[in-house]
Structure 1
Amino acid sequence: MRKSNKRLYLIPVLSKALDILELLQNENQPMSLESIYQRTKISKTTVYRVLKTYTHRGYLAQSTDGLYRAVSRPKKLRFGFAGQSKDMPFSVAVTESLKAAATSMGVDLMILDNQYDATIALRNAEEFVKSRVDLVIEFQVEQEVAPVIADKISAAKIPLIAVDIPHPHATFLGVDNYRVGRDAGELLAQHAQANWGGKVDWVIGLDLPEAGTLVQSRTTGAFEAIKSVLGEMPVESFVRVDGRGMRNVSRELVADFLKRHSKEKHILIAAATDTSALGAVDAVREAKRERHVAVVGQDCIPEAMEEMQKRSSPLIGSVSHETGTYGPALVSLGLALLSGQTVPPYNYVSTRTVTPSLLNTPPAGV
């Protein structure tokens, strides 16, 4: 009896793609490109392209260590990100890092600008809830409105990640504020020892009280480090002023202080942000007091690094918060939350202190 072969209208590459997806779904754990290739025996180039396509379309997620895993729902995830302000260089850098990571890891982003304004930040949170995003990443500076924003997002049962400024119900990602403050303070104290024989008349903290006590611990850390290096100083030598993290506000405050203390020649300034630090530099330069003042900032934005390289600049350093690491860390953290993994409530990015000597050192071999 003659066998009749039924013609099968199959698409070979689609079958291979489905084999890869089914393998990841059945294994239910992250797998590397190499292990998927070994298990399926499909061309490694094909495996790579299929994995990248699935990730782009939201069927898979790729973690920072390069492993792939099946996403629990067959739709592309969409994260809402509210940036601090498109006028703040650090916020822009975090946004760009997040955009690149989201594209690489197959996540859609809905980006809104908080414009450094509490009312707008609240309105943006409501827009995320209305748009039913899968997760919200909040970067806004006003601590007073943080509970209101967090409550609205929590009521909608949307996971929340807070960048740099803690919010109730949120997982935190940012710097260890007290530690980066100490790093800045140690640099300032070392400058005083090397250039002024350890003599200091005033220590100014260009603070950011609107962001809450955690961010204010940058100033606390700086003050404590200066005391530990230089020894105890009169408590009245330490002054906190609200620079709001803004250049013009900080410039006016420092200009007024320098005018009122025209005779003092040993002044250290620890700024909560580089933008504040640059405002202090403006005031120092206008007063022609460059030799009398040393400033250290936070964030290591490009304009601050350019300023540091100028001859006799009062900006002697900045603590880099490594903005390039924010995006991958935020997306990985978001995917972990959505998959039901247990994550720490506080997640810290790496930091490093940058000085003019580091910036001016040529690469090895040059």
Structure 2
Amino acid sequence: MKSPSKGAHSVNGTKRGYTIQAVVRAASILNAFQSTSEVLDLRDVAARVGLHKATTFRLLETLVETHLLERAGKQGYRCCIQPARTKRFRIGYGSQTSLLPFTATVSDSLVVAANAANVDLMVLNNGLSPRIALQNADAFVSEKVDLVIDSQINIGVAAQIAVKFSEARIPFIALDIPHPGAIYFGADNYKAGRIAGRHLARWSAKNWKSGPEQIMLLGVDAAGPLLNARLTGVLDGINEVSTFGHNIPAHHYDTKGGQFEATLDIVRRHIRRRRPERALIGAVNDSTALAALQAFREAGIERACAIAGQDGSLAAREEMRRTSSRLICSVAYFPESYGERVIRLALDVLKHKPVPPAVFVQHELLTAQNVDKVYPNDTWMKSPPERL
């Protein structure tokens, strides 16, 4: 019997004399791509397969010629077939709500990122309801998803949701509201609040000689102290820059999940009762900030307020571009970038890579002075493309 050729490939520990090394190398290059959306350059592929760059280049070009790979840009390559070894993970995503612009943007970015990573994303809407959030958790367990990304604000059911996933041995990532046993991804709420509070105080010192006579804090009590830490940060930021914060009344209101209509009604009633003359307003998100602004505007006393939002939403950015608007700032969280980062974090968890217990997003103060610099493409995004 003819002995296996030198350098023959091993399958299950057995030398196979009929293995063709060129085919093995070509297959290793195809398997270097984790999905059909991943783009790699020559250096990346050579490093992953452990071949010399010259050999890798010849193989890449051959695979392009045979339509198994395609060029992506000047130096990149993309795989045209789904590698058989790649596991298609199924991830459950519990969206907080479709009513808030911020969470809608997060959802859109997650869907795009999951598709690009060849992840099957099962999307359910928690609808700002603790009952529905619990039902959705049961659905994810029943469907045996590999991991859950949960965005729900009702801290009262956080422990129950955590137990469901723990007993099912399903890892999960909590967006914006920490949950027991979950990896946290989202805002550093207190830090974001302090950024806004400091700007409110500086604006007040510059524009109101007599200083503010009241502070309004628009929160979401269902989320407990975690989301409302933004408002604690607002107060501390005001006091850090000025001395008036300790000496004027602060009025805290629950906005029923941070929704526009509920906040509008609350602020209207506050205006009728308190007749504010110089009110600093710290809002838990941009929806409540814009609702407060509308209430003051309706009453004809817009100049009696100065409002700080949170999220850096498109609507808030448009408002800050209006001349003399009293939405004087918002803290940007860049929800459009959530998807790629969260899906990457989820895949690291599923591949048993080390991950931190908390991943915080970037925060940046947006004002009328810098909004065009931070978001230069807003006008382009709103305008329909010209016909060619």
**TM-score, normalisation: structure 1:** 0.83
Query: What CA distance in whole angstroms lies between the structure 1 residues aligned with 2:205 and 2:311?
Result: 25
Contact 1:58 1:107 in 2 (8 A): no
CA distance in 2, matches of 1:136, 1:20: 32
Distance (Å, rounded) in 2 between the aligned partners of 1:198 and 1:347: 41
Change in 2 beyond 3 A, CA 1:23/1:312? closer
The runs of 5 or more residues in structure 1 that have no matched partner are: 1-7, 26-30, 60-73
CA distance in 1, matches of 2:19, 2:348: 39
Q: Residue 263 of structure 2 corresponds to which residue in structure 1?
A: 250
Q: Which moved more, 1:106-115 or 1:228-237?
A: 228-237
Aligned residue number for residue 379 of structure 2: none
Is it true that 1:34 corresponds to 2:47 in the alignment?
no
Q: Does 1:230 align with 2:242?
A: yes
Describe the shift of the 1:34–1:179 C-alpha distance in structure 2 as closer, same or farther (beyond 3 A): same
Map Cα deviations across residues 134-175 of structure 1 (whole Å, 9 max, x no partner): 100000111111111111111110001000001111000001
The answer as to 2:141 corresponding to 1:129 is yes
In 2, Cα distance between the equivalents of 1:268 and 1:56?
Answer: 55
CA distance in 2 between partners of 1:55 and 1:186 (Å) = 53
Q: Distance in 2 between matches of 1:312 and 1:252?
A: 24
Q: Which residue of 1 aligns with 2:6?
A: none
Structure 1 distance, partners of 2:127, 2:263, is 19
Question: Does structure 2 conserve the Cα–Cα contact (< 8 Å) formed by 1:58 and 1:77?
Answer: no
CA distance in 1, matches of 2:69, 2:329: 44
Question: 1:259 aligns to what?
Answer: 272
Separation in 1, partners of 2:149, 2:297: 38
Distance in 2, matches of 1:298 and 1:129, equals: 33
How far apart in 2 are the matches of 1:90 and 1:198?
A: 35
Q: 2:192 aligns to what SS in structure 1?
A: helix
Matches within 5 A, 1:35-50: 35-37=44-46, 39-40=50-51, 41-43=55-57, 44=60, 46=63, 49=69
* Match status 1:273 vs 2:282: no
Contact between 1:85 and 1:91, CA under 8 Å: does it hold in 2? yes
Q: Distance in 1 between matches of 2:211 and 2:360?
A: 34
Distance 1:79-1:49 versus aligned 2 partners, 3 A rule: farther
Equivalence for 2:115: 103
Is 1:177 the counterpart of 2:189? The answer is yes
CA contact (8 A) 2:91 2:146 kept: yes
Residue equivalent to 2:28:
19
Instruction: Look up the SS of the partner of 1:233 in the other structure.
Output: helix
Q: RMSD of the alignment, in Å?
A: 2.8
Matched residues in 2 for 1:162 and 1:257: separation? 34
2:15 is matched with none
Query: 1-side partners of 2:111 and 2:285: how far apart?
Result: 23
Residue 100 of structure 1 aligns with an amino acid whose one-letter code is V
Distance (Å, rounded) in 1 between the aligned partners of 2:107 and 2:301: 36
% identical equivalent positions: 35
Is 276-285 or 15-24 further displaced after alignment?
15-24
Correspondence list, 1:149-228, <5 A: 149-197=161-209, 199-228=211-240
Are 1:180 and 1:319, in contact at CA under 8 Å, matched by a contact in 2? yes
Are the equivalent residues in 1 in contact too, given 2:238–2:245 (CA < 8 A)?
Answer: no
> 2: CA distance between counterparts of 1:130 and 1:284?
48
The 5 A counterparts of 1:45-60 are 46=63, 49=69, 52-53=78-79, 59=85
Alignment of 1:141-152 (within 5 A): 141-152=153-164
TM-score after normalising by structure 2: 0.79
Flag the 1:243–1:235 CA change in 2: closer, same or farther, 3 A. Answer: farther
Match of 2:11 in 1: none
- Measured against aligned partners, the alpha-carbon deviations of 1:200-254 in whole angstroms (never above 9, x if no partner) come to 1111110112112121110000001111111153455122111131111111111
Where 2:251 maps in the other structure, the secondary structure is: strand
3-state SS in 2 of match to 1:169 = coil
Aligned residue pairs total 335
Match of 2:355 among 334, 343, 355: 343
Question: How far 1:329 moved relative to its partner?
Answer: 1.5
Deviation at 1:359, TM superposition (A): 2.8
Which amino acid in structure 2 is aligned with residue 20 of structure 1? I
